[in-house]
Chain A
Amino acid sequence: AQSVTQPDIHITVSEGASLELRCNYSYGATPYLFWYVQSPGQGLQLLLKYFSGDTLVQGIKGFEAEFKRSQSSFNLRKPSVHWSDAAEYFCAVGARNRDDKIIFGKGTRLHILP
């Protein structure tokens, strides 16, 4: 079964600084990979997804993520964060072969310093 690890529970960056949120997955083949964002009091919104092809994926709100098969990673990046990016970010993995479900990581809470 697939699993996903987000090693950082909290990350604090200054507004305008670059951001990288880490995500590692475990799955026997190439999975489907997702990043979701959850703003306070809101549901989960898809930022980006990787299914196949180009390993660098562009998403909404200026985010991108890179799939690295050799490292089993799918880290989320943004070159310059805005105060409105403060939220919880979830990496998620889906199996290609049979499951309907997507498994989420524990999330990383992003704090932005003014």
Chain B
Amino acid sequence: EPEVTQTPSHQVTQMGQEVILRCVPISNHLYFYWYRQILGQKVEFLVSFYNNEISEKSEIFDDQFSVERPDGSNFTLKIRSTKLEDSAMYFCASSFLTRNTGELFFGEGSRLTVL
């Protein structure tokens, strides 16, 4: 069964360092998302991506964040200069259909720890 894969599963970094989280969405999906979950809190929307551009982003997704689909398979989230409060589990998701009509398929997450 096709699945969304994320790497790394866990990354520890120093504050101020750049981090890139990688995701391989399901191959025929068209819409890509990043969500994050701070420990003990709810899953929060960060950004959605379609047709090689951001379609929507939340207020959390400030200038420190960027997303890219550098080739036909990868979808990356970059945090330019990490802060302590960026420590969270980051989930990538993809869907085939648009505007919430399709099921989101989530990866298992990348845990980011900022020291």
Question: A residues near B, CB below 8 A?
Answer: 32, 36, 41-46, 49, 51, 90, 94-96, 98-107
The one of B35, B56, B108 in contact with A42, judged by C-beta atoms closer than 8 angstroms, is B108
Q: Closest CB of chain B to A29's CB: distance in Å?
A: 13
> Closest 3 CB pairs between A and B?
A94-B100, A106-B42, A43-B106
Query: Which of B13-21, B44-52, B62-70, B72-80 lines the interface with chain A?
Result: B44-52
- Number of interchain pairs (Cβ within 8 Å): 64
Q: Which residues of the partner chain A approach B58 to less than 8 Å between Cβ atoms?
A: 101
Most B Cβ at <10 Å: residue of A45, A98, A99, A102: A102
Interface size on B, residues (CB 8 A): 27
Tell me the B1-54 residues at the A interface (CB within 8 Å): 4, 31, 33, 35, 41-45, 48, 50
Q: Closest CB of chain A to B23's CB: distance in Å?
A: 11
Q: Closest CB of chain A to B12's CB: distance in Å?
A: 17
Q: Which residues of the partner chain A approach B44 to less than 8 Å between Cβ atoms?
A: 104
Q: Closest CB of chain A to B37's CB: distance in Å?
A: 9
User: Please, how many angstroms separate the alpha-carbon atoms of A100 and B29 in the complex?
Assistant: 14
